[in-house]
Amino acid sequence: MKDIKHFLRQNSLRPTKQRVIIANYLFDGINKHVTAETLSNKLLKMKAGISLATIYNTLHDFYEKGLLKKLMINSERIYFDTNTEHHHHFYSKNDQKLIDINVDMKVSGLPKPPKNKKINKIEVLVHLDN
Amino acid sequence: MKDIKHFLRQNSLRPTKQRVIIANYLFDGINKHVTAETLSNKLLKMKAGISLATIYNTLHDFYEKGLLKKLMINSERIYFDTNTEHHHHFYSKNDQKLIDINVDMKVSGLPKPPKNKKINKIEVLVHLDN
DNA sequence: TCAATACATTAGAATCGTTCTAAACTGATA
DNA sequence: TATCAGTTTAGAACGATTCTAATGTATTGA
């Protein structure tokens, strides 16, 4: 796709074959949460012969350009989120699945941060049963 | 310590030398956040010759008995928290340090959970700059 | 008290997600 | 279109964690 190439160039990323394929999938307008593994599986199904190393490289390249958000939900794998706006998540441990919470939420009763520290951002993770 | 042995027995854990040493350190009344690595370092300083395997085993044994909470803050290591009450955290990525938030906080504006799912718990992580 | 045994500890190997390496390849540029 | 910086790749390396299986120890019940 032309616009994906343009999009990559705009973000100082050479539109290589692999990056175009991955970007096309990730930025198709539907927000996604992927890990290197889930992305690899998806690409295998699409018969895009992209090596695991490139998948890792590309996710990190995109992350460094601010095209992806990194989520640290559990310590087993790193999730990348195509929704880079500040938002929160439902997390179902059972399904290993994340769901965006796109509504505004307020946290009240927050204590002062420790001396010399400033609050950067507040992350709310809503764990789901079942 | 007598009471630590008793405490371990109460939790169906044999009070072995290693478990007594580790429990004595972890449950000395001061809440702690440890990883296998930080605990290992601490024990090395105390010249308690406890193998890494035992440290992992013990942390998991304590966790399984509900004596520790597992925290998934970043994906590099697993944190164990001696404060097993429901509470939140400040997190300084810079210092790789966690600070308990023990006051009550309220989250408002939460959307309905997805169908057939129930909210288990809400975790608030306050990221600190600097 | 002591032998039997069930449970714990340990060193080192294995595992698994991720990163690194260095050689081959390719998009951009002049 | 030749050059070259940036990219891809297979496979090695890495680091946290788990496993293995041999050795050690707390508990039990006679």
The string of pLDDT tens digits covering residues A61-110 is: 999 999 999 887 776 778 999 998 999 999 887 787 889 998 989 999 99
Rounded CA gap, B118 and A54, in Å?
38
A76 touching chain B per CB within 8 A: yes
CB contact under 8 A, A106 and B111: no
Measuring from the CA of residue A14 to each C1', which nucleotide is nearest? C27
Range of the domain at A18: 2-80
- Indicate the pLDDT class of residue B75, thresholds 50, 70 and 90: low
Any domain includes B106: no
Q: Which ranges of B29-83 does DSSP label H, i.e. alpha helix? A: 36-45, 52-64
Asked whether the predicted pLDDT for residue B2 surpasses 80, the reply is no
Rounded mean pLDDT, B7-24: 96
Q: Which amino acid is at A8?
A: L
B74 in a domain, yes or no?
Answer: yes
Which bases of chain D are under 7 A from a protein CB atom? 6-11, 16-20, 25-27
Binned at pLDDT 50, 70 and 90, residue A9 comes out as very high
Footprint of strand D on the protein (CB under 7 A): A 13-14, 16-19, 49-54, 57-58, 61, 75; B 9, 14-17, 35-37, 52-53, 56, 60, 76-78
Tell me the nt nearest to B18, Cα to C1': C9
List the one residue out of B51, A59, B41 whose CA is nearest residue B19. Answer: B51
Residues of A in contact with B105 (CB under 8 A): 107-110
For residue B130, what pLDDT is reported?
A: 66
Q: Tell me the chain A residues in contact with residue B78 when contact means C-beta distances shorter than 8 Å.
A: 75
Query: Would you say residue B61 lies in a domain?
Result: yes
Tokens of A50: 């992209």
Q: Is residue A110 a part of any domain in this protein?
A: no
Alpha carbon distance B68, A116 (integer Å): 30
Q: Which of A105, A68, A108, A111 is nearest to A89 (CA)?
A: A105
| Structure-block tokens of residue B116 | 């057939």
Q: Which long-range contacts (CB under 8 A, 24 or more apart) does A61-64 make?
A: A61/A13, A61/A19, A62/A13, A62/A22, A62/A23, A62/A26
Give a yes or no: residue B40 inside a domain.
yes
CATH at B45: 1.10.10.10
Q: How far is the CA of A40 from the C1' of D9 (A)?
A: 15
Beta-carbon count within 10 A of A73 CB: 21
- pLDDT category of residue A129 using cuts at 50, 70 and 90: confident
Q: How far is A39 from chain B (nearest CA, A)?
A: 18
Residue B65 lies in a domain: yes
- What residue is closest to D8 (Cα–C1')? A54
CA atoms within 13 A on the CB side of A99: 17
Residue A19 counted as domain residue: yes
Query: How far is Cα A37 from Cα A47, in angstroms, rounded to an integer?
Result: 15
Q: What is the mean pLDDT of chain B?
A: 91
Per the domain annotation, does A45 fall within a domain?
yes
Cβ contacts below 8 Å, chain A against chain B, sum to 114
Q: How many domains does chain B have?
A: 1
Structure confidence at residue A16 as a pLDDT band (50, 70, 90): very high
Q: How far is CA A61 from CA A30, B36, B43, in A?
A: 20, 31, 40
| Radius of gyration, CA atoms only, chain B | 17
Which nucleotide's C1' atom has the smallest distance to the CA of A51?
D9
